[in-house]
Chain A
Amino acid sequence: MSIRTFSVWRGDKNGGRFVEYQVEVEEGMVVLDAIHQIQRTQAHDLACRWNCKAAKCGSCSAEVNGRPRLMCKTRLDALPVGEMVRIQPLQTFPIIRDLVTDVSWNYQVNKKIPPFAPRPDASWVMLQQDVNRAQEFRKCIECFLCQNVCHVLREHERKSEFFGPRFFVRIASLQMHPMDSLDRLPLLKNEAGLGLCNITKCCTEVCPEDIHITDNAIIPLKERVVDRYYDPIQILLRKIKGEKASHAGGK
């Protein structure tokens, strides 16, 4: 057992500071264990969210040594030995207190996405290969690390015109569902602000569920938007084939 120093941001929307704590570290410990120990023994009121402690609920998101991580999944032995461990809240969302931020914006965005609407003639016969893509997207645990790291939200603060990677993944899961009947491409192009994404892939880098957010969700959606709005040949083909095919690339 050894002692390590943790520097944890304490404060609220009016400001705060990093406070150092010494924690007894045992083998296999994760950052969240250390936070719990601090809570139990040194700072009863240290605010942090957590639930499952198994990387399945996505509650304990924070920035550990500047990197957006789930605290329950970040092993101490994977961090540089002998250095202080610095923990701060997600930077993209308003601070509530200590490591807790106000992520309610995400829930508002989710409400704007038209939900699953099965085709009236849906047979519900789907092969595994038909659902693999949607299943990958549905692994999302809504930790909002991708939203936090995305520079469109983090640096450019475009919350009013950009849904963020989490919700592109959600839209992709609906759009590629074999039984869904809705067309969400106009939403993607306009309100969701897909064009603001410049595919710099930080969302994919931080995803604790290893969802290939950029390659499997965002880029395929961008290509569908191209089909609909930018590709002259596709547009012409649709004109020739008539109105019915106008949903190509969407539904």
Chain B
Amino acid sequence: MNEKYETHEHDVIVIGAGGAGLRAAIECSALGAKTALICKSLLGKAHTVMAEGGVAAALAHVDAQDSWRTHFQDTLFGGKYLNNWRMAELHAREAPERVRELERWGAVFDRTPDGKILQRAFGGHTYRRLAHVGDRTGLELIRTLQDKGVHQGIDVFMECTITKLLKDGERVCGAFGYWRETGRFVVYKAKAVVLATGGIGKCYKITSNSWESTGDGHALGYEAGAELVDMEFVQFHPTGMVWPPGVMGLLVTEAVRGEGGILRNNQGERFMEKYDPKRMDLSTRDVVARAIYTEVKEGRGSPHGGCFLDISHRKAPYIRQKLPSMYHQFKELADVDITKEPMEVGPTSHYTMGGIKVDADTGASTVPGLYAAGECTGGVNGANRLGGNSLSDLLVFGRRAGAGAAEYANRAAPPRIDQTQVENAAGEMIGFFDRPGAADPYKLHVDLQNTMQNLAGIFREEKDLTMAVARLEDLQRRAAHVGVVEGQRMYNPGWHLCRDLHNMLICSQAIVRAALLRKESRGAHSRLDFPKYDEYWGEHNIVIKKEPDGMKVQARPVVKVAELIPLVDEKKAKETK
């Protein structure tokens, strides 16, 4: 019926081939669903490779006292109790099995002296908990899943961008996209769709994220009617490179501090003593990022506007073994030998806690047939994510969303594609070629990034956020005029950016509006005009939904689990002591 464009039919399509997407696709296909995996880049290049430090799982190989309960408590404390409790529970309970499963699929983790999976310390984790492979854990994870996946018969569609979810009444029934290589359009018919598109980092100027992190899943889901949650919480990783300019924002793994790295200001002081004397350098990321920002702002920063991170007190061979890519990264890109000199680091936009609101057990969004997993979902991390919890998150919930989608597809009727939706989506993409005197998408992107960086960054306040709302509206208007200045449809990044801007604008608006509503400081969200916790907001998440008259932002009570209340109370009591 729809042969105008290349069409593929599957039971489930998974959009995004990072850890979450791969894990979801593996589960889907293992359950017998015909599964497609669609990704914007080549397979295995997703941002998961940048996860360096490790995967948090209470295996208790190194610290025998560890258990899923402690992991659950740590996660909630890190998320300032805004997490979806059920998600945090499943996450903590299932992470160890997911890690062991990875090993059975061929992942080769670093070992303890008695031959088990080694675990390292990380910010906010009570015990040494992160299973790791030097500082390239994400690569290990993605390669393992990739090889497991391709040999299991998943159909992989590489370098294909999805621009629209297609709907059949209320339910999702497929997706529309284009091949980056040829610019030709493609239609995927599916009974269920799993979004696993990762983050929104490209909304910010200084970011550790790649070009792919344009909030596609957030925007696709939002436009299809799914609810977003916790969008105000954008994690600034405390340690990104600050020099040279070309690599500003590039991640410096928390494993540096996990292995004993110390933060100092230009006076040589261990300034974390002032901000979190208990956890010091391994405090949660929100605290450390604010601390560094404050030190720099008050004139105690390093020459290039960061602070110093020093690991040189450890022995050189140890550093090279445990942090090989950091060693090379600084050696080659910044001429700094980290075994001898301190690094210069500063906060960089790294991760979004917010995303599509999903059912904890199945990954189902509020739209029938639409599932989501990984960074593009919200809930498990609350107001702030602990390092190492993203890799475990995507394994646990990737699997659950895959199972959820496969199960849904099993009982769903065959999808029916609405040709009008397809033509509209095609028209939108073609439209970018049809604008004489088109505005420059690159210029617009820079303006967007500056707006978000300056007005909705680490510290926020009413007047900045209000200004950001106005600027975003203006950018939205300008976005209607961006177009292709040169080139055709074949592999044309300028054209691609025109469409990506649309997604980034939706995410930016969601971030700013939620941030404006949350009148308190909590986790990654710091308001200069409301510097304290607020009791009401401590019990509420902010949910965003697309309504006919625009973006609707509302507060909704935190999802709690009655049986877990004693655990949470115990943690609260311990931390207030």
Contact = CB atoms under 8 A, between A and B. Distances in A.
Judge A-B direct contact (beta carbons within 8 Å): yes
Interface of A: 12, 26-30, 32-33, 39-41, 43-59, 73, 75, 96-98, 100, 102-104, 107, 110-111, 115-116, 118, 122, 124-128, 130-131, 134-135, 138-142, 173-174, 177, 180
Contacts of A130: 111, 115
Nearest to A51: B210
B339 to A, nearest CB: 16
B536 interface: no
A49 B496 CA distance: 13
A98 B49 CA distance: 26
A144 B484 CA distance: 31
Nearest to B492: A45
B493 A47 contact: yes
Contact of B243 (A28, A32, A102, A126): A28
B415 interface: no
Interface in B9-59: 41-47, 49-50
Contacts of B100: 124
A11 to B, nearest CB: 11
Given A40-B446, A96-B490, A140-B143, 4 more contacts: A12-B490, A97-B491, A126-B111, A128-B111
Given A44-B442, A73-B332, A115-B147, A56 B136 contact: yes
Contact of A28 (B115, B246, B485, B486): B246
A125 B114 contact: yes
Contact of B246 (A33, A50, A52, A135): A33
B557 interface: no
Where chain B touches its partner, the secondary structure class is loop
Interface string B487-519: 110111111000000000000000000000000
B244 A131 contact: no
Contacts of B103: 124
B493 A39 contact: yes
A111 B151 contact: yes
A8 to B, nearest CB: 14
B8 interface: no
23 contacts: A28-B333, A29-B246, A44-B442, A44-B485, A44-B492, A44-B494, A45-B487, A45-B493, A51-B47, A51-B210, A51-B211, A54-B329, A57-B41, A57-B44, A96-B491, A100-B491, A102-B181, A104-B158, A115-B147, A115-B151, A122-B104, A128-B110, A135-B134
A47 B492 contact: yes
B471 to A, nearest CB: 20
B37 to A, nearest CB: 12
Contact of A116 (B43, B49, B106): B106
Nearest to A103: B42
A59 B115 contact: no
Contacts of A98: 491
Contacts of B151: 111, 115
B484 to A, nearest CB: 7
B108 A75 contact: no
B244 A28 contact: yes
B559 interface: no
Contacts of A52: 45, 47, 49-50, 210
Nearest to A104: B158
A141 B111 CA distance: 22
B250 interface: yes
A28 B247 contact: yes
Given A29-B246, A125-B116, A126-B111, A107 B43 contact: yes
B60 to A, nearest CB: 15
A12 B491 CA distance: 10
Contacts, number: 177
Interface in B266-303: none
Contacts of A26: 244-246
Where chain A touches its partner, the secondary structure class is loop
Nearest to B329: A54
A227 to B, nearest CB: 24
A51 B45 contact: yes
Contacts of B247: 28, 30, 53-54
Nearest to A123: B115
B105 interface: yes
Interface in B530-557: none
A59 B49 CA distance: 12
A87 to B, nearest CB: 16
Interface string B91-109: 0000000001001111011
B435 to A, nearest CB: 13
A216 to B, nearest CB: 15
Which 6 A-B residue pairings sit nearest by Cβ, starting from the closest? A28-B244, A45-B487, A44-B494, A116-B106, A125-B115, A33-B246
B356 interface: no
B150 interface: yes
Contacts of B485: 44
A52 B485 CA distance: 26
Contact of A53 (B133, B158, B210, B488): B210
Contacts of A126: 108, 111, 115
Contacts of B46: 51, 57
Contacts of A57: 41, 44-46, 49-50, 210
Given A131-B108, A141-B139, A44 B246 contact: no
B375 interface: no
B291 to A, nearest CB: 24
B389 to A, nearest CB: 20
B112 to A, nearest CB: 9
B210 A50 contact: yes
A3 to B, nearest CB: 16
Nearest to A126: B115
B134 to A, nearest CB: 8
Contacts of A116: 105-106, 147
Given A44-B494, A56-B136, A127 B244 contact: no
Interface in B334-390: 334
A48 B113 CA distance: 44
Contacts of B70: none
Contacts of B150: 107, 110-111
B199 interface: no
A49 B158 CA distance: 13
Contacts of B143: 138, 140
Nearest to A54: B250
A73 B243 CA distance: 14
A161 to B, nearest CB: 22
A44 B484 contact: yes
Given A45-B486, A96-B491, A103-B42, A54 B245 contact: no
Given A73-B333, A125-B115, A29 B244 contact: yes
B481 interface: no
B560 interface: no
